[in-house]
């Protein structure tokens, strides 16, 4: 890791109270700075400086709201995770679209949900999307994807022709249902975590958020009638009367499953355990923490006792990249 990047990570950890991270060996092939440049489309010093001035960030089109998490009391029958023994845990949520354009159209199919569950003594963060599969299994392929996709149709075709994992991702996204609400989507944590069972054993699992009212798809014609920007207003008006609610599950891996590869979707036959319910109701939208939500990051490695990261290189690079991006725009 470059000296400059390491120095910034140390500074960031001091003012955000986030744990320092040990990146996998593979990260040496691409520095965190290079990965952020690929996402932001800032390959040289001139574009990087311009990006800092406009505070470039991924998921630029997004907004924050709030709610509560109600753990399933039976979750602690399976897992030794004291965090889930609390009755109610406050949530700060950020819903967003992908990409660095804050004015991107809401009519795309991609939806993202990030959550901070702030408990009495610990916190748990989630970074999820409505796609169950990721486009890269390693940092080199992540860098290549972000670089090529900014070349338009030519770059996308190169990825389809040369990167099978990316082609599978594009094929998956084509089949995603169009929705007119963030509340109408399933959300997935494509990366795996290691959970401590009640008897002290370790088991790998992935997060899945199922909307209580199901996925509601709309036709292309119905979506076309919407303005370019409607998702924030729709969710804000919805939760003013009826909360948006998801059941949170952990999908458990079996021995043959590849735990450290987010491009692989595990079979639906894998056991799922209900962890609790996410209720987005806007109850703390006037709080400083919610209003200043964008002044921090959602750190997927902010984990309570009993949950640890897998060896997935994509997962283990996320926090450092988020901190690097955060520093650039502040």
229 is known as an active-site residue: no
**Does 269 have pLDDT greater than 50?**
yes
pTM of the model: 0.91
**Catalytic entry in 59, 125, 229, 284:** 59
Q: What is the DSSP string of 70-88?
A: EE-TTHHHHB--GGGGSS-
Quote the crossing angle between the two packed helices 32-40 and 313-328, to the nearest 10°: 70
- For residue 40, the surrounding DSSP H or E stretch is helix 32-40
Where does the pLDDT of residue 325 fall: very low under 50, low under 70, confident under 90, or very high at 90 and above? Answer: very high
Q: What is the DSSP string of 161-214?
A: HH-HHHHHHHHHHHTPPP-S-GGG--EE--S-EEEEBTTS-EEEEEEEEEETT-
Mean pLDDT for 63-85 is 97
- Which pLDDT belongs to residue 330? 87
Cα–Cα distance measured from residue 277 to residue 28, given in angstroms and rounded to the nearest whole number = 39
**Does 19 have pLDDT greater than 80?**
no
- Which pLDDT belongs to residue 7? 37
3-state DSSP assignment of residue 62 = strand
Where does the pLDDT of residue 282 fall: very low under 50, low under 70, confident under 90, or very high at 90 and above? Answer: very high
241 C-beta neighbours (distance < 10 Å), count: 7
Q: Please, which contacts does 218-224 make with residues 24 or more away whose CB atoms are closer than 8 Å?
A: 218/177, 218/178, 218/179, 218/180, 219/178, 220/178, 222/180, 223/107, 223/178, 223/180, 224/107
Residue 9's Cβ-count burial label (10 Å; 0-12, 13-18, 19+) is: buried
Mean pLDDT for 22-48 is 80
Side-chain-facing half-sphere of 121: CA atoms under 13 Å: 7
Calculate the average pLDDT of the chain: 91
**Does 66 have pLDDT greater than 80?**
yes
**Does 190 have pLDDT greater than 90?**
yes
Measured CA to CA in angstroms, residue 59 lies from 111, 113, 157, 322 at distances of: 10, 10, 23, 11
- Which pLDDT belongs to residue 16? 35
Q: What does DSSP say about strands 193-196 and 307-309: parallel, antiparallel, or unpaired?
A: antiparallel
187 annotated among ligand-binding-site residues: no
- Which pLDDT belongs to residue 244? 98
With CA atoms as reference, report the closest residue to 125 among 113, 116, 135. Answer: 116
The CATH code that applies to domain 3-328 is 2.40.180.10
With CA atoms as reference, report the closest residue to 249 among 266, 265, 273. Answer: 273
pLDDT tens, residue by residue, 99-130? 999 999 999 999 999 999 999 999 999 999 99
Mean pLDDT for 242-258 is 97
């Amino acid at each position: 890791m470059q000296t400059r990047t390491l120095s910034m990570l140390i500074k960031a950890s001091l003012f955000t109270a986030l744990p320092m991270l040990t990146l996998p060996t593979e990260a040496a092939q691409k520095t965190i700075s290079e990965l952020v440049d690929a996402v932001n489309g800032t390959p040289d010093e001139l574009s990087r400086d311009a990006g800092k001035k406009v505070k470039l960030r991924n998921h630029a089109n997004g907004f924050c709201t709030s709610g509560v998490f109600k753990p399933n009391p039976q979750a602690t029958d399976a897992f030794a995770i004291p965090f889930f023994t609390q009755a109610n845990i406050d949530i700060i949520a950020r819903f967003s679209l992908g990409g660095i354009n804050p004015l991107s159209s809401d009519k795309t199919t991609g939806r993202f949900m990030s959550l901070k569950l702030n408990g009495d003594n610990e916190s748990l963060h989630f970074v999820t999307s409505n796609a169950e599969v990721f486009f890269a299994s390693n940092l080199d392929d992540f860098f290549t994807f972000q670089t090529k996709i900014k070349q338009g149709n030519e770059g996308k075709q190169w990825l389809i022709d040369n990167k099978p994992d990316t082609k599978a991702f594009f094929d998956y996204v084509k089949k995603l249902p169009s929705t007119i609400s963030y509340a109408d989507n399933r959300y997935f944590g494509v990366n795996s975590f290691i959970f401590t069972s009640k008897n002290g054993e370790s088991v790998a699992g992935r997060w899945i958020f199922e909307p209580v009212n199901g996925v509601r798809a709309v036709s292309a014609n119905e979506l076309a009638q919407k303005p370019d920007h409607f998702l924030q207003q729709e969710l804000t008006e919805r939760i003013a009367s009826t909360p948006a609610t998801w059941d949170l599950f952990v999908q458990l891996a079996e021995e043959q499953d590849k735990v450290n590869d987010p491009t692989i979707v595990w079979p639906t036959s894998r056991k799922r355990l209900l962890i609790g319910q996410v209720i987005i109701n806007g109850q703390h939208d006037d709080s400083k923490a919610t209003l200043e939500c964008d002044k921090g990051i959602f750190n997927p490695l902010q984990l309570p006792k009993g949950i640890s990261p897998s060896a997935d290189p994509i997962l283990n690079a996320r926090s450092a990249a988020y901190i690097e991006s955060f520093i650039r725009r502040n």
